[in-house]
Amino acid sequence: MPQLALAPQSVAVVTGGASGIGLAAASRFAAMGLRVCIADLGGDRLSQAAEALFALAPDGPAGVMAWPTDVSRAEDLHRLEAAVRERFGGTDLLMNNAGVQPGSAMFGPAESWDRVIGVNLWGVIHGSRVFAPGMIARGRPGFIINTGSKQGITTPPGDPAYNVSKAGVKAFTEALQHELRSTPGCRITAHLLIPGFVFTPLTANGRTAKPDGAWTPEQTVDFMVDRLPAGDFYILCPDNDVSRPVDERRILWAAGDIVENRPALSRWHPDYAAAFKAFAGRTD
């Protein structure tokens, strides 16, 4: 059964594991008795996160490893996979979670686009392509969880590089799940985590207190862990501000732009503001 990947002594690898949703996930996995590897850019933050996990893991430091990784570099992912295999024997759960959001403009610096797409999209592609073959060959049930975003589905104006990267994560993860379920004997499933408004270093924007509308990373991970055994592919998280019915209407409206041949991003077009407001108010 797939939930065996969440059983004690299974092995979880979490990229972007030194903070935010990644650290919350690694902490939850460690507390559940999994052996955990967190991968993130090196430095004090990574070592401090590992020390926090030592106190949660039943085996202490023996059940935790931390590995400096730049997920935009395929060679770093190959080194990570080999290190986890040598230390723990293989991987049962891979969470491609590393992400950046420095902000972007359509005609802004190319370096911003390169970094966002390198980490957010290529990091997911590299991680999945490097780890999945060994996970399949291992013959055990397992999960590959890729962290997407609602911005990759409704693509609001304001940060095009981030939207492009997360839209790519959605498309890639859908293709990955099709590939896995079409592979004879494969016991690995892919899942797209779609967080709501989560208060993390990525979203803080200078704030030190969690806004009332946001969930904590721990709430997001709790929701994810509840939905994985249920088999959800699209793990669409609510928050304290937006309910699932509202998310569903926003997503349906975005798809309707194509079907109804409306202007691109019509939700933010003045000629369609009233129509969207009326549509979004419906939850039937």
Active site residues: 162
Which helix (H) or strand (E) segment holds residue 157: the answer is: none
In angstroms, the Cα distances linking 226 to 42, 46, 167, 194 are: 31, 27, 24, 14
Q: Where are the alpha helices (DSSP H) in 182-243?
A: 217-227
Instruction: Using DSSP, state whether 165 is helix, strand or coil.
Output: helix
Contact 262, 272 (CB under 8 A): yes
Sign of CA dihedral 223, 217, 143, 91: negative
How many degrees, rounded to 5, is the angle at CA 255 between CA 219 and CA 192? 35
Report H helices in 139-191.
Answer: 151-154, 160-181
String of DSSP letters for 72-115: TSHHHHHHHHHHHHHHHSS-SEEEE---------TTS-HHHHHH
CB 27 within 8 Å of CB 77: no
Backbone angles phi, psi at 40, to 5 degrees: -165, 175
